[in-house]
Amino acid sequence: MLSPLAARKAEKLGFKNVKVYHAGLPDWKKAGNIVVSNIAGIEELDKLEMPYILLDVRSPDDISKGHIPNAIAIPKEGLESIKGQFPTYKAAPVIVYDQSGVGDSAKTTFKEIAGWDYKQVSILSVGFHGWQTAGKTVATGPAGTKISYVRKLFPGEIELKGFMVELEKPSANTIILDVRMPSEVQDGVLPNTKQIPLDDLEAKLSDIPKDKLVLVHCATGARAEMAYNVLKNAGYNVKFVRAKLEFDKEKKGAYKFEE
């Protein structure tokens, strides 16, 4: 929602030829276009200790002479051969680079990974050449061959995988709480869940046994996180899941739940 505001400011400054690409980055990605990142993006991830996958698409010879630390080389058998090493978490940042920017092999790799439904794929716009020119640390010898991405969980978060185990086979010591609005609950509910809208949660704490582990979900994870904070402050042992839940409008009871 920032771009229309920026356009208004530009017009106030007297610019006449101002347009707004309102659909923005989400639609740009959906249309299958390339997204680029920069060196600062990698440095920020490092600083926050957020894990990411860095892929070097150049030849083994070039890689040996120098590559970005933590890079993984694409094996000669092709990208497909390491597909199984990619995480189930589709929002994992994946950065692809070649020698000097957005070359064909970087583009092909980008499109293949984006085609696997990964949401945060980018090509390092300046390539290895830009990295080196900027005086950043360069590693020599062969690059890594195995992707080992371990997702960093948010405080109080439970991975969807673990949540699903509890959902399908609930243990007696667990209660699963759905904090969506009544209007959303109409679309469907997950099995073995108890519905209390976030708005009513504080008033209905007495309905939730204190001696159990409480797992909270909503439709995106945002309200589940708020509920987590409410319950944690009230002394509960609680975790929340950060994933998008959609019920099938055609098929009753069918749903899609993904991180």
Partner 1 sequence: MPRRLILPMCLAALVAFLIAGITPLTSYASEKLPSKSDQSCLKCHDYDKQENVLAGKLKEVSVKANCLQLQIDKGMDVILFDESTVLKNAPSMPEIPKGESVKITYFKKDGKTFAKEVEVKKGLEVPKEQLISTEEVEKLVAKGPKEGKYILLDSRPPNMFNEGHIPTAASMPFFAFDKLAEKLLSDKDALQIYYCAGFS
**CB 18 to partner 1: min, Å:** 5
CA-to-CA separations, 147 to 54, 100, 166, 259, in angstroms, rounded? 9, 23, 28, 19
How far apart (Å, rounded) are the C-alpha atoms in residues 167 and 211? 18
How far apart (Å, rounded) are the C-alpha atoms in residues 175 and 210? 10
Long-range contacts of 137-142, Cβ-Cβ distance < 8 Å, separation of 24 or more: 137/69, 138/66, 138/67, 138/68, 138/69, 139/66, 139/67, 139/68, 139/69, 139/71, 140/64, 140/65, 140/66, 140/67, 141/64, 142/60, 142/63, 142/64, 142/73
How far apart (Å, rounded) are the C-alpha atoms in residues 165 and 156? 17
121 strand-pairing partners = 94
Contact predicate 220/244, CB 8 Å: yes
Instruction: Name the one range near partner 1 by CB under 8 A: 79-87, 118-126, 139-147, 240-248.
Output: 118-126
87 sits near partner 1 (criterion: CB under 8 A): no
40 sits near partner 1 (criterion: CB under 8 A): yes
Q: Which is nearer to partner 1, 1 or 172 (CB)?
A: 1
- Return the residue of 1, 76, 191, 249 that touches partner 1, per CB under 8 A: 1
206 sits near partner 1 (criterion: CB under 8 A): no
Please choose, from the candidates 63, 55, 36, 15, the residue with its C-alpha nearest in 3D space to the C-alpha of residue 124.
36
How far apart (Å, rounded) are the C-alpha atoms in residues 152 and 252? 34
**CB 4 to partner 1: min, Å:** 4
Instruction: Name the one range near partner 1 by CB under 8 A: 25-33, 128-136, 148-156, 162-170.
Output: 25-33
Q: Which is nearer to partner 1, 202 or 258 (CB)?
A: 202
- 44-83 footprint of partner 1 as x/- string (CB under 8 A): xx--------------------------------------
200 sits near partner 1 (criterion: CB under 8 A): yes
172 sits near partner 1 (criterion: CB under 8 A): no
- Return the residue of 172, 203, 211, 249 that touches partner 1, per CB under 8 A: 203
Q: Which chain residues interact with partner 1 by CB under 8 A?
A: 1-7, 9-10, 13, 15, 17-28, 31, 33-38, 40-41, 44-45, 93, 102, 120-122, 125, 199-200, 202-203, 226, 229-230
